[in-house]
Each structure stands twice: as structure tokens, then as C-alpha cells.
Amino acid sequence: MMKSPQSQSQNAIVSSFTKLFNVQLHILNLLSLFLFFGCGLILGIILSFSLKDFSFNLHITQFSQLTSSSSPSLQSESVSSSGGGGFSRVGLREYLKPPNVTHDMEDQELLWRASMSPKIQEYPFERVPKVAFLFLARGPVLLAPLWEKFFKGYEELYSIYVHSSPSFNESEGEPPGSAFHGRRIPSKNVGWGDVNMVEAERRLLANALLDFSNERFVLLSESCIPLFNFTTIYSYLMNSTQNFVELYDLEGPVGRGRYSPEMGPKISIDQWRKGSQWFQIDRDLAIEIVSDKTYFPLFQNYCKGNCYADEHYLPTFVYMKFAEKNANRTLTWVDWSYGGPHPRRFIRSGVTVEFLKKLRNGYSCEYNGNSTNICYLFARKFLPNTLDRLLRSAPTVLHIS
Ligand SMILES: *[C@@H]1O[C@H](CO)[C@@H](O)[C@H](O)[C@H]1NC(C)=O
Ligand SMILES: *[C@@H]1O[C@H](CO)[C@@H](O)[C@H](O)[C@H]1NC(C)=O
Ligand SMILES: *[C@@H]1O[C@H](CO)[C@@H](O)[C@H](O)[C@H]1NC(C)=O
Ligand SMILES: *[C@@H]1O[C@H](CO)[C@@H](O)[C@H](O)[C@H]1NC(C)=O
Ligand SMILES: *[C@@H]1O[C@H](CO)[C@@H](O)[C@H](O)[C@H]1NC(C)=O
Ligand SMILES: *[C@@H]1O[C@H](CO)[C@@H](O)[C@H](O)[C@H]1NC(C)=O
């Protein structure tokens, strides 16, 4: 039987070692010794390369298991940043990251981007829906300390966007650490009753739509307050089957009288509606509003001066296209009982426990088809000097602790 070359060389080694100390060293033995070590070296290199990836991967898995208990986001971070090659996974992470609030998109670019909506309704990732709070302010959010209390502890469930006058110096606004700090979107001038007020609302909506986790959108002014704690408001909004855009038909100069025949035939006087601008809507309706290229231009062109687009655009648009899913009321309480073009403004002495309790439970309305006495979640207009009393009532009356 022939011996295999391998066993031949092994024999050779054994003998070579014994002969190594002998004076007589055969040249052939030396050659086979080199050959053997050469083969071993190559085999070793090949093995170490193929095992390296394996052990590297194993190392990462162990590391991420260690860290995942404290922070799940760190796990994906460590895999992708150290991976390189076939083992990194970005998935949708980059796509889902909302852009910086202080971006440099023009309105046209912003609205176009915000109008995108996925055709597949189910999300292929775990999505915690958020409420986007949109503050339409002149400068600072006047009652910020009350809102800070309201938001504290619910950071995963809300986002804030503030639209204020471009002349407002942000460094005079809310300090670092505040929920409002760094949440100002690129803003433009807003005139009372001007159509650019609606443009600001659409700008706020568009910015908030860029974050895919925002599911409900609430428009607030700088003088608004919450009437309930975060959990109550979050559930009320998330569980609602309807949108809250107040709308009604009103005869006379401050209602139908503001309609312009030039808006026809797309908008007829029968479709003209009025209502409060302070809305609470879902993502679908928000996308429709930023995408509207049919009706909004008519308001930009023909709803000027004493027309007050902010009181008519959304009520008319929603009445024409999305009425069946609308509650036709707003969740923001305001006192118009004194008459005139402005609602009543509340000063310190107006804020009593009885008053706040009445706003919370003193009304009757429908919610998801059932009758309820929680009809308002927010209220306006509160002057800055009401803050002390509001903060004192917050834990006891408003259940905001
Ligand atoms: C967002 O933009 C501001 C101002 O341009 C900049 O200072 C900040 O670093 C940016 N943040 C991120 C996360 O890019
Ligand atoms: C904003 O205010 C800060 C400090 O009050 C000041 O240093 C800065 O120059 C102001 N910026 C503008 C654009 O006025
Ligand atoms: C919706 O209401 C149900 C009970 O009515 C409640 O269990 C659930 O937590 C609510 N959903 C949210 C998001 O609050
Ligand atoms: C709101 O008004 C529209 C149109 O008038 C109507 O179809 C809808 O049923 C109303 N919604 C409620 C909750 O009453
Ligand atoms: C609300 O109404 C639905 C039907 O519209 C009913 O099934 C449900 O029990 C009601 N809930 C309450 C708390 O009355
Ligand atoms: C929120 O307020 C409601 C009453 O409006 C109260 O029942 C509930 O316990 C409060 N939740 C928290 C987390 O404070």
C-alpha cells in the first residue's frame, strides 16, 4: 500500500526532530520541515480569517445583550456603527428620523414633503403615537411653567412646535431644559385676521407631519391652558373616532356675509361655514389640509380684509370634504359672552376653583356617540398674571402634579 504524502511528511518530521541534534543533517528532511510549517501557516491564516467575523459577531451580540436592558436604542447603534460590511443594518432608522426643527426648507418644499403619506396602512415597526402640540404665539409661550408641569414625564408621547414672530429673539424665550426650548419652526409674520394666520397653521401642521409618530394635532395659542392632566387629554384625543373642528352656518354680516361670490363655483354660499380656528385633528385630516391646492388658494385670493380666513377656511373645507368624521365642536373653551370681536381675557381674580371646575365638567356634549360632561380639554385666553393661581390649582383642581 502506498503511504499518503501527509503521513510521509509526518514521519519525516518525527525523524527530523530526532536527527536534529545529530551532526548528520539530511537536506531532504530540512526541506520537508519547511514545507510542513508553510502548510500550517497558510491553514492558520485561512482559519483565523474565517473565524474572525464569527467571533466579532458573537462579541457584538453579547455586548448588545448587556446594554439592551438599559437602552434598547444603543443596541442597534452599536451594531450598525461598528459593523461595516454585511452585518450593519440601518433599516428605516434614517428615514424615520424627523428633520431638525430649524430646517431651511421653503414653504413650498415643506408642504410638498409633508403631503407624503404611505399607502400601506400598517407600520412595519413599533410606533408609539404622539400628540403634536402646535403653539401659535407672538413671542414666548406665556404660561410655559404650567405647560412644563403638564408635559413632565410624558416625553415619549408628545412633540411641541412653536410658531412665533420672526422678529422674536429666541434667546429671550424659554431657557435650555424647557420643553419649548429649540422647538421654534421657521416662521413668518402673522397679522390678526389675515390669511397668513392660516398659512402659519399649515406651516405648523406640515412641520409636525414630518415626524411619523405624530398622530393627533392640537392648535393652541400662547394664552391657552390645559384643563386636564396629560394622561386624560392623551386618551381623549387618541380614543376619539372624530376630528374636532368647530363649524356652523351663520346668517348675517359676520357669517355668510363674509363669503365672496368669486369663490364660486368651487365653493358655494351654502357650503360657507364659520368656526373657531383652534382645532384637534388626526393625521389623515392634517395631510389633507397641507395638501389642499384647490380651496386654500381661493381663500388666499378672495378672503381678505374683513373676511377673517382663520374663522372660515378650515370649517368650510372640513364641511365640504370631511364632515362625516367631524364632531363639529372644538375642545378649546373660550368666553364670547361679552360680545365684540375678541373673547374675554382672564386676569388673576377671574381664576377661581369653581370657575376651573365648571370648565372641566360643567358642560354636556357627545363623545364617540355617547354623552359626556368633559367637553373642553383646553381654555383661553389667560393673561400671564393668572400663572400663580393656576400653578396653585394645578395639583388639586386640574390633577396636574
Ligand atoms: C439643528 O439646527 C441647529 C441650527 O441650525 C444646529 O445648531 C443644531 O446642531 C442642529 N441639530 C441637529 C441634530 O442637527
Ligand atoms: C438676541 O438676544 C441676545 C441676548 O439678549 C443678544 O446677544 C443677541 O444679539 C440678540 N440677537 C438678535 C438677532 O437680536
Ligand atoms: C382608550 O379607552 C380605553 C377604555 O375606554 C382605555 O383602556 C385605553 O387605554 C384608551 N386608549 C388610550 C390610548 O388612552
Ligand atoms: C357634523 O356635521 C356634519 C355636517 O353637517 C354631519 O354630517 C355630522 O354628522 C356632524 N357630526 C356630529 C357628530 O354631529
Ligand atoms: C358608548 O356607546 C356605545 C355604543 O355607541 C356603547 O356600546 C357603550 O357602552 C357606551 N359607553 C358608555 C360608557 O356609555
Ligand atoms: C389625571 O386626572 C384624572 C382626573 O381628571 C385622575 O383621575 C387621574 O388619576 C390623573 N392621572 C394622573 C397620572 O395624575
Task: Answer whether 367's CB lies under 8 Å from 240's CB.
Answer: yes
Alpha-carbon gap, residue 75 to 73, rounded angstroms: 5
Q: What is the pLDDT of residues 249-282, one digit of tens each?
A: 999 999 999 999 999 999 999 999 999 999 999 9
Mean pLDDT of the chain: 84
The pLDDT value recorded for residue 72 is 39
Arithmetic mean of pLDDT, 88-101: 87
The pLDDT value recorded for residue 387 is 95
The pLDDT value recorded for residue 89 is 83
Q: Whose CA is nearest to atom 6 of ligand 5?
A: 370
Would you call 10 exposed, middle or buried from its count of C-beta atoms within 10 A (0-12, 13-18, 19+)?
middle
Q: Whose CA is nearest to atom 1 of ligand 4?
A: 328
CB atoms near residue 141 (< 10 Å): 26
Ligand that lies nearest to the alpha carbon of residue 237, given by its number in the listed order: 3
Q: In the numeric block, which cell numbers belong to residue 291?
A: 395638501
Q: What is the pLDDT of residues 127-174, one digit of tens each?
A: 999 999 999 999 999 999 999 999 999 999 999 999 999 999 988 888
CB atoms near residue 164 (< 10 Å): 21
Q: Which atom of ligand 1 is nearest to the CA of 101?
A: 1
Q: Is the pLDDT of residue 73 over 70?
A: no
Ligand that lies nearest to the alpha carbon of residue 99, given by its number in the listed order: 1
Ligand that lies nearest to the alpha carbon of residue 154, given by its number in the listed order: 6
Better-predicted residue by pLDDT, 379 or 89: 379
Q: Is the pLDDT of residue 62 over 90?
A: no
Q: What is the pLDDT of residues 230-241, one digit of tens each?
A: 999 999 999 999
The pLDDT value recorded for residue 50 is 54
Q: Is the pLDDT of residue 121 over 60?
A: yes
CB atoms near residue 171 (< 10 Å): 6
pLDDT class for 83, splitting at 50, 70, 90?
very low
The pLDDT value recorded for residue 357 is 96
As a whole-number percent, the residues of the chain with pLDDT over 70 amount to 78
Q: Is the pLDDT of residue 188 over 80?
A: yes
Determine phi and psi for 160, rounding to 5 degrees.
Answer: -120, 135
The pLDDT value recorded for residue 79 is 39
The pLDDT value recorded for residue 59 is 46
The pLDDT value recorded for residue 344 is 82
The pLDDT value recorded for residue 350 is 84
Highest mean pLDDT of the ranges 30-34, 65-69, 344-348: 344-348
Our CA angle for 2, 3, 4, nearest 5°, is 115
Q: Which atom of ligand 3 is nearest to the CA of 235?
A: 14
The pLDDT value recorded for residue 30 is 53
Alpha-carbon gap, residue 156 to 131, rounded angstroms: 10
pLDDT class for 42, splitting at 50, 70, 90?
low
230 Cα: distance to centroid of ligand 6 (angstroms) = 8
Alpha-carbon gap, residue 254 to 292, rounded angstroms: 25
CB atoms near residue 345 (< 10 Å): 14
As a whole-number percent, the residues of the chain with pLDDT over 90 amount to 66
Q: Is the pLDDT of residue 33 over 80?
A: no
Better-predicted residue by pLDDT, 187 or 337: 187
Alpha-carbon gap, residue 281 to 218, rounded angstroms: 7
Better-predicted residue by pLDDT, 2 or 222: 222
Select from 239, 240, 282, 374 the residue to mutate for testing ligand 3; criterion: most ligand atoms less than 8 Å from CB: 239
pLDDT class for 386, splitting at 50, 70, 90?
very high
Q: Whose CA is nearest to atom 4 of ligand 6?
A: 399
The pLDDT value recorded for residue 199 is 97
Prior bond to 265 cis, omega within 30? yes
pLDDT class for 77, splitting at 50, 70, 90?
very low
Determine phi and psi for 9, rounding to 5 degrees.
Answer: -70, -30
Task: Answer whether 311's CB lies under 8 Å from 274's CB.
Answer: yes
The pLDDT value recorded for residue 217 is 98
pLDDT class for 307, splitting at 50, 70, 90?
very high
The pLDDT value recorded for residue 28 is 55
Q: Whose CA is nearest to atom 14 of ligand 4?
A: 327
